[in-house]
Amino acid sequence: MNSPGIVVFDLDGTLVDTAPDLISALNYVLDREGLAPVPLQSARTMIGGGARRLIERALELEGRHASTDDISRLTKDFIDYYAAHIANESRPFEGLETALDELAVQGFRFAVCTNKLEFLSKLLLDQLGLSGRFAAICGADTFGISKPDPAILRQTVAQAGGQLSSAVMVGDGGPDVGVARRAGIPVIGVEFGYTEIPIAELKPDRLIGHMRELPAAVDSLARTVNIS
């Protein structure tokens, strides 16, 4: 293989359990609108489409209609609050750093491809001491496209100095499986993330229930599709 193997990760619900801080920010803007808070556990499945979509889904649950301008105002308030509290409770999923260490020893490089805004993604990973592990951290605004459009994945891999033929995607939901399928690369699904449809039903190429299982899953794919 002429380029290093690239493992590309989703962020929310894959690398980091961000739900507590995301839902805290959501409930902050809902409270300002006089709406009841959304319980953390039930709101976890609403995460994954970016801040604007999270707010839209919360308002839909309340049966509330909001104009485009209102949604934009609420999204700005959400982002301002979230940025100030981004790592209050968010933590990497157990076993992540050990898994990255094992894969790095094997020569893999890492990238992040998320529908979160780039500056929020970098801010979060900076505060958690993880940014330096990734050759590229790309969000929905980095290239002006979001998952499952395969262009975001192609450009993320390129920015990380790799090639699609040497890449594998790791994610927790439909946008991750969808972007990998459309880009023509294998995908590993994590069972501990945020998705309304169980990840197993989306039929990723491999399925893991803990980050300790990631190196073996990547190795298994490497043996069959030449990503190492």
pLDDT 10s digits, 99-135: 999 999 999 999 999 999 999 999 999 999 999 999 9
Task: Note if 10 is an active site residue.
Answer: yes
- Of the pLDDT bands very low, low, confident and very high (cuts 50, 70, 90), residue 1 is very low
pTM of the model: 0.93
Average pLDDT of span 193-204: 94
Closest CA to 177 of 214, 146, 203: 203
Average pLDDT of span 205-217: 98
* CATH class, 19-84 region: mainly alpha
State residue 42's pLDDT score.
Answer: 80
CA 224 to each of CA 66, 183, 188: distance values in angstroms, whole numbers, following the listed order = 49, 18, 14
Spell out the residues 6+ positions from residue 34 whose beta carbon is closer than 8 angstroms to its own: none
Model confidence at 226: pLDDT above 80: no
Q: Where are the domains of the chain?
A: 6-17+92-225, 19-84
pLDDT 10s digits, 144-184: 999 999 999 999 999 999 999 999 999 999 999 999 999 99
Residues 6-17+92-225, CATH architecture? 3-Layer(aba) Sandwich (3.40)
